[in-house]
Amino acid sequence: MSSPAHPADAHDLIRVRGARENNLRDVSLDIPKRRLTVFTGVSGSGKSSLVFATIAAESQRMIDETYPAFVQGFMPSLARPDVDELQGLTTAIIVDQERMGANVRSTVGTVTDASSYLRTLFSLLATPHVGGPGAYSFNVPSVTASGAMTVQKGAKTIAEKATYSRVGGMCPRCEGMGRVSDVDLAELYDEEKTLEEGPFTIPNYAPGGWYVKIFSQSGFYPADKPIRSFTKRQLHDFLYKEPTKISIEGMNMTYEGLIPKIQKSMLNKDRESMQPHVRAFVDRAVRFITCPECEGTRLAEHARTSLIDGVSIAEATALQITELAQWVEALCAQHSGPTVAPLLTNLSALLDSFVRIGLGYLSLDRPSGTLSGGESQRTRMIRHLGSALTDVTYVFDEPTIGLHPHDITTMNELLLALRDKGNTVLVVEHKPETIAIADHVVDLGPRAGTHGGQLQFEGDVAGLRASDTLTGRHLDTRIALKEQVRERTGALEVRGADQHNLQDVDVDIPLGVLSVITGVAGSGKSSLVHGSLPHGADVTVVDQSAIRGSRRSNPATYTGLLDPIRKAFAKANGVKPSLFSPNSEGACPVCKGAGVIYTELGFMETVTTPCEECEGRRFQASVLEHTLGGKHIAEVLLMSVEEARAHFTSEGAKVPAAAKLLGHMDDVGLGYLTIGQPLTSLSGGERQRLKLATHLGDKGGIFVLDEPTTGLHLSDVENLLALLDRLVDTGRTVIVIEHHQAVMAHADWIIDLGPGAGAEGGRVVFEGTPATLVAEAETLTGRHLREYVGG
């Protein structure tokens, strides 16, 4: 007689009822636990809104509520998602594609704890012994201090001498950066001008601003004489003076020389995190050279000369991880003591995880800011591979991004391994190879934005394939090889490229055609294109770096679309353009143009309520009396790109400059976006295509696109290929770094790098037409492309 089922075993589903976050339209569904569920649908259909903004967000919010109120006060407050009911949630671990932090001191070793293990290892085994783990850290400076301290002994107060010292591993010359900056003074200021005339050519150093006031009113040099006429002492104070307290207009300020001030405010930041105009200034004015003292290792001499079996910590972190793993394995055989053996075992397991996940080609000293979105995501996965936790919900955002078809198989195995340990795995994905391994598929659509957010299909992969949904129809779609490829009009010559792992590469990239650079992750594609193109080439790069903007930023402000619209409104109504900006004069005075009022409730979530004064429209009532073509500015900002394009091409509201920009946004497949929605609400694929739209009007001869299929549904890839064709047909050269076989098949020319990753890559293993690559099929890319086109 079988025993009755235990009540606890009945909780095998995550139940979602009435989800309305962002564009979701009352979505209700059941997701099986301890299974692999893949969420599909076009970009903007609501996948991320359901998986991240609803299921994962509510799980995190409920866990945060278990902490004491005091602790919650230090945590970000999360609002409850707009959903009627969520049942059966488990702890959610989010592994997304956000790039690693842009801290210039952050490396692959520091973000994964591998460097911590190595530093401890060297402090135990290296000779000569120079100190604890901090003595091998390039983030810890050496400090020595001495002075007197007072000690109470009964009724007496006794002064005693005290000294303090700490041995750190930071190179004193470059302060652990590995490079020093050489500033071109001619790019900082015009020496023929006086300080009163505003000589600076530095961003944010505008005449009349506080930065300039501090310099002109410091009193260390004359403000009414040209900088060229300064004495040696005055010029030194102007450029290099130590921080000094001064008084300006009755206020106490700190004066500091121009060079250290710029170094602290700009040069100590990661280049990728800078605003575009600041980055352009730094590229123009500053030349970075390898630190001559530490030779780029970032470490002080004592840390560089303390060795284990002839290897320094600088040399160990510079090794490819596959080689470092072998070195650590050899140490494991030599040391079995109770202090070192557990350390070596943990470090060895961590390095093996790197290799298993396909990142063995990296080195621990690689700056984390240089990792691609896919590499960052896989680096985050490492800490979960050996975890003993089960019954956890893992949430992945397109884990195949940045992966060659050859590497997708490995990623699929990792996802299945997480599931087989008893975890629920939720994956947002577009690649057919990963959709194919799903136990359960949820398809959202039918389209994007306001045309999406509805459940289209729920079931297994066979059912999806048989369904009449957009995903089902395109799941087995294959782009055919071109019958006729374009003829090149010239060549972009790359000679002796040796950046990162490139091995003295000579290659000609054809002009006037669509070229695709392929190869496994880490083979040297980005190094070739981003680091080795000839200087002076007329290149426009559209990469995967995030769009930076506040919650006030939107597609209209980012693309510059709002400028011609404001001017058209102003001209039609005879008023100032600034009235039609929610960030300027026309803003509602109560909500300051935000449209909502934020109420802080201490440790509880911040409450957001629509502004009662402007009813969420963001503008003063008087501004909304001015119209253009029968619509006021708030109504225009609520339009989709398609609607706005029709409006600004209609009689009575023609704004050619706005219509042109809207046309570019429509061309890249963003016709469904609302032009006034916050940039923070856009998915990764949408942000990249918005960036592409802003460059479509550029006159640049060469376009470089870095994985433009990121976040694109199978059906949208065909539209992207048509757009690339239009770019080439207008006389441009298009170079695409891509793994998607559809883009490879559609190329006029393919340059394949490899044969492997890291030290095993960095060579050109094929260059020619896609048809030749399929016919020969001698490389990994060739074999996968032949399989894709059915060769």
pLDDT in tens, 614-660: 988 999 999 999 999 999 999 999 999 999 999 999 988 999 999 99
Q: Are strands 92-95 and 36-40 parallel, antiparallel or unpaired?
A: unpaired
pLDDT at 280: 80
Task: Give the integer Cα–Cα distance in Å for 448 and 120.
Answer: 51
Element (H, E) at 496: strand 490-497
Nearest 10 degrees: CA dihedral of 628, 634, 635, 637? 100
* Cross-strand bridge partners of residue 255: 244
Task: Give the phi and the psi of residue 163 in degrees, each rounded to 5.
Answer: -125, 150
User: How many Cβ atoms are within 10 Å of 192's Cβ, its own excluded?
Assistant: 11
- What would you report as the CA-atom Rg of the chain, rounded to the nearest whole angstrom? 30
pLDDT over threshold 80, residue 155: yes
Write out the E strands in 429-488: 440-445, 454-459
Q: Of 182-186, 632-636, 672-676, which range is least confident? A: 182-186
- Selection from 190, 215, 209, 211 nearest residue 200 by Cα: 190
| The pLDDT of residue 126 is above 90 | yes
Q: What is the pLDDT of residue 225?
A: 92
Nearest to 242 by CA among 223, 264, 266: 264
**Nearest residue to 540 (alpha-carbon basis) of 750, 770, 706, 682:** 706
Mean pLDDT estimate for the chain? 89
Rounded to whole angstroms, the Cα distance separating 751 from 748 reads 10
Whether 485 has a pLDDT exceeding 90, the answer reads yes
The string of DSSP codes covering 287-313 is EEEE-TTTTTS-B-HHHHS-EETTEEH
Cis before 128? omega within 30: yes
| Whole-number pLDDT of residue 749 | 97
Q: Cα-flanking dihedrals φ and ψ of residue 505, to 5°?
A: -80, 130
Beta strands in 41-169 (DSSP E): 83-87, 92-95, 143-153, 156-166
Tell me the average pLDDT across 657-671: 91
Question: In Å, how far are 384, 417, 605 from 407, measured between CA atoms?
Answer: 19, 16, 41
CA-to-CA distance for 181 and 137, rounded, in angstroms?
22
- φ, ψ of residue 736 to 5 degrees: the values are -120, 125
Residue 603 has pLDDT above 60, yes or no: no
pLDDT tens sequence across 510-546: 999 999 999 988 899 988 988 788 776 788 888 766 6
Percent of the chain past pLDDT 70, that is, above it, reads 96
Measured CA angle at 118 (ends 114, 121), to 5 deg: 140
Q: In this predicted model, what pLDDT tens digit does every residue of 395-434 receive, in sequence order?
A: 999 898 888 898 898 889 989 999 999 999 999 999 999 9
**Confidence grade of residue 250 (pLDDT, cut at 50, 70, 90):** confident
For residue 588, give the amino acid letter: C
Share of the chain above pLDDT 90, in %: 55
What span, in angstroms and rounded, lies between the C-alpha atoms of 44 and 27?
Answer: 15
Strands (E) in 9-142, as ranges, are 13-19, 27-32, 36-40, 83-87, 92-95
Distance CA 119, CA 317 (A): 10
Q: Taking a C-beta distance cutoff of 8 angstroms, is the pair 180, 288 a contact?
A: yes
**Alpha-carbon distance 609 to 256, whole Å?**
44
Cβ count within 10 A of residue 153: 8
End-to-end CA distance of the chain: 57
Buried b (16+ CB within 10 A) or exposed e, 410-422: ebbebbeebbebe
Q: For residue 791, is pLDDT > 70?
A: no
Residues sharing a CB contact under 8 Å with residue 35, sequence separation 6 or more, in sequence order:
419, 424, 425, 439, 440
Q: Helix 321-334 and helix 341-356: axis angle, to 10°? A: 150
pLDDT digits (tens, 9 = 90+) for 190-240: 999 998 888 998 888 888 788 888 888 888 999 899 999 999 999 999 999
* Alpha-carbon span 445 to 450, nearest angstrom: 10
In DSSP terms, 764 is beta-bridged to 753
Query: Cα(39)–Cα(54) distance, rounded to whole angstroms?
Result: 14
Q: Which two tokens stand for residue 699?
A: 């006159």
Determine the residue type at 62. M
What pLDDT is recorded for position 100? Answer: 67
Q: Mean per-residue pLDDT for 273-302?
A: 85
Whether the predicted pLDDT of 759 surpasses 80:
yes
Predicted TM-score (pTM) of this structure:
0.82
Give helix then strand counts, H and E, for the chain: 29, 27
Residue 557's identity, in one-letter code, is T
**CA dist., res. 320 & res. 354, Å (int):** 11
**Number of neighbouring beta carbons within 10 Å of residue 145:** 9
pLDDT at 454: 97
Report residue 137 as tokens: 């850290």
Beta strands in 218-272 (DSSP E): 244-248, 251-255
DSSP 402: T
User: In this structure, are strands 440-445 and 36-40 parallel, antiparallel, or unpaired?
Assistant: parallel
Give the pair of three-digit tokens for residue 385: 């591979």
CA 514 to chain centre: 26
Contact 442, 469 (CB under 8 A): no
Paired tokens of 74: 């230090």
Place of tokens 């105009």: 277
Q: In this structure, are residues 440 and 31 in contact, taking their beta carbons and an 8 Å threshold?
A: yes
- Calpha distance 13→439 (Å, rounded): 14
H/E run at residue 381 = helix 373-385
pLDDT at 167 over 90: yes
Report how far residue 40's alpha carbon sits from residue 435's, in angstroms, rounded to the nearest whole number.
8
Decide if pLDDT at 689 tops 60: yes
For residue 601, give every residue at least 6 positions away whose Cβ sits within 8 Å of its Cβ, in sequence order, or none.
77, 607
Q: Three-state DSSP class for 783?
A: helix
pLDDT at 99 over 70: no
pLDDT digits 0-9 by tens, 543-598: 766 676 667 889 999 899 999 999 999 999 999 999 999 888 899 999 988 888 87
β-pair partners for 118: none
Rounded distance between C-alpha atoms, residue 348 and residue 326, angstroms: 9
- Residue 757 makes CB contacts below 8 A (sequence gap 6+) with 358, 360, 361, 520, 521, 522, 523
Name every residue whose Cβ is closer than 8 Å to that of residue 514 and which is 6 or more positions away in sequence.
486, 724, 725, 728, 734, 736, 746, 747, 748, 749
Residue 96 CB-half CA count within 13 A: 13
A 10 A CB-CB count for 20 gives 16
Q: Give the integer Cα–Cα distance in Å for 444 and 31.
A: 14
pLDDT at residue 217 in the model: 87
Q: What is the torsional sign of CA 253, 254, 255, 259?
A: negative
Structure tokens of 56?
A: 């994962």
Q: Has residue 314 got a pLDDT over 60?
A: yes
- Is the per-residue pLDDT at 337 higher than 70? yes
Q: Using CB atoms within 10 A of its CB, is residue 139 exposed (0-12), middle (13-18) or buried (19+)? A: middle
Report the distance separating Cα 755 and Cα 744, nearest Å. Answer: 17
